Amino acid sequence: MTESPRRTTALTDLLDEEETAPARPALRVVHEAGGIDLTAAERAAGQFLEALGVSTASESLRGTPGRMARAYAELFTPRPFDLTTFPNDEGYDELVLARRIPVRTVCEHHLLPIVGTAHVGYLPGARILGLSKLARVVEHFACRPQVQERLTKQVADWLETNLEPKGVGVVIEAEHACMTLRGVQATGSSTMTSTLLGLLRSDARSRSEFLALTGAAG
């Protein structure tokens, strides 16, 4: 992941230099992949299907290896975005929460889908965040082979580092195809994970509010 240099500005500095301080540049977030070779991936996909006894000789299956390669390339390539933040001029200090952000990733153990929703919230500090960027951060870390526990913590840790809020909370609830389609075949089961940082972890009122609004409290 490549990130452009980031200026950190204390709230007192923002107030003192309100008239002269330049706008804070947006943080450009780009996922650095190891390089995608679609030709090699298509060839490997064909060999994989053949090894499992699936013939790709028919008209309907002839293009399947290529479609597989392109599908996984898309799953592993998050879109770049700018982490746009703005001065918290009004001193807003209540919870900001984006609920039901779609989560789409694959289990790193079986490369089967993990599909669900994320609830991401924060208590603002000196700056507030463009709301769509919460979904972008989730996508950024979901577009790679994952485990749900790591994904939850990565989103929370990244927001804490780059936004510097007073608190961050992330709850993810998802269905794992590696549980529902194979093995135990626990159809309809879902997994919930959470990471709470700052005041959303240490302050009982803020913690309870966040968990209640995400539906994770009960």
Which residues does the annotation mark as catalytic? 107-110, 148, 176, 178
Q: How many helices (H) and strands (E) does the chain have?
A: 8, 10
For the CA atoms of 129, 140, 174, 170, the dihedral, rounded to the nearest 10 degrees, stands at -30
DSSP assignment of 130-173, as one string? -THHHHHHHHHHHSSEE-HHHHHHHHHHHHHHHH--SEEEEEEE
Number of C-beta neighbours around residue 23 at 10 A: 7
Contacts of residue 104, Cβ cutoff 8 Å, sequence gap at least 6: 75, 113, 114, 115, 142
Question: DSSP secondary-structure letter at 144?
Answer: S
CB 129 within 8 A of CB 81: no
CB 88 within 8 A of CB 125: yes
